[in-house]
Structure formats: C-alpha cells, structure tokens
Copies of this chain bind each other. A is one copy, B any other.
C-alpha cells in the first residue's frame, strides 16, 4: 500500500485534504447539487452578468416558465449562492461571490 499523503487544514475542509466527514460531505453535496443543473448555471451567469436582475427578466433568456424560474431561484437562494430582495412588485437577485468562493475552496482551492 502506498504511503498516505494528507494535509491538515483548520478552515474550510477540502475534498483533497483530510477525508470528509459525512456531515461535511452532505453540506458540500447540497451546494453542489444546487449548481449541478444547466438551467441554474445559466441563471447564475445571467445574474452575475448584471449587478442585479429581477426574476421577470430571467424567463425569456432561460426559456422556462415562471414557476420553473421561481423554483430555480429558490434552490440557488437556499444554497446561499443567490441573495434576493423584494422591492415593490419585483424580486431582485444578486450573486454572493463569497459563497461561490467557498465552494471553490472546498473543491481544493
């Protein structure tokens, strides 16, 4: 058996460092699951391309129905990747860059 190579890291457990605990793996899998959908990835990139964007401007470029868009924004927001603010009748969405950076770090960044 080859020798074990393992690095200790206090913050932000990474996949390529110490073996993940079940809880850490479940948390990371939840965020990655939110990202693992082509519609949500395009949605995220559309939001990131602007400072802010409202839900009503997502249906057309994504070619999805209003309930479907609402579903995807909800999933991304639950994962902490999108932050929403309701102003008047409109829901405005922003990307949380720190959250995305945390995912990269967990992937061995």
Contacts and interface: CB of A to CB of B under 8 A. Distances in A.
A98 B2 CA distance: 21
Interface string A18-52: 11101001101100110111111110111011111
A53 B103 CA distance: 25
Given A15-B44, A100-B108, A26 B38 contact: yes
Given A22-B38, A38-B26, A108-B101, A2 B45 contact: no
A35 B32 contact: yes
B49 A18 contact: yes
A6 to B, nearest CB: 5
Contacts of A109: 104, 109
A56 B19 CA distance: 17
Interface of A: 1-6, 15-20, 22, 25-26, 28-29, 32-33, 35-42, 44-46, 48-52, 61, 95, 97, 100-101, 103-104, 107-109
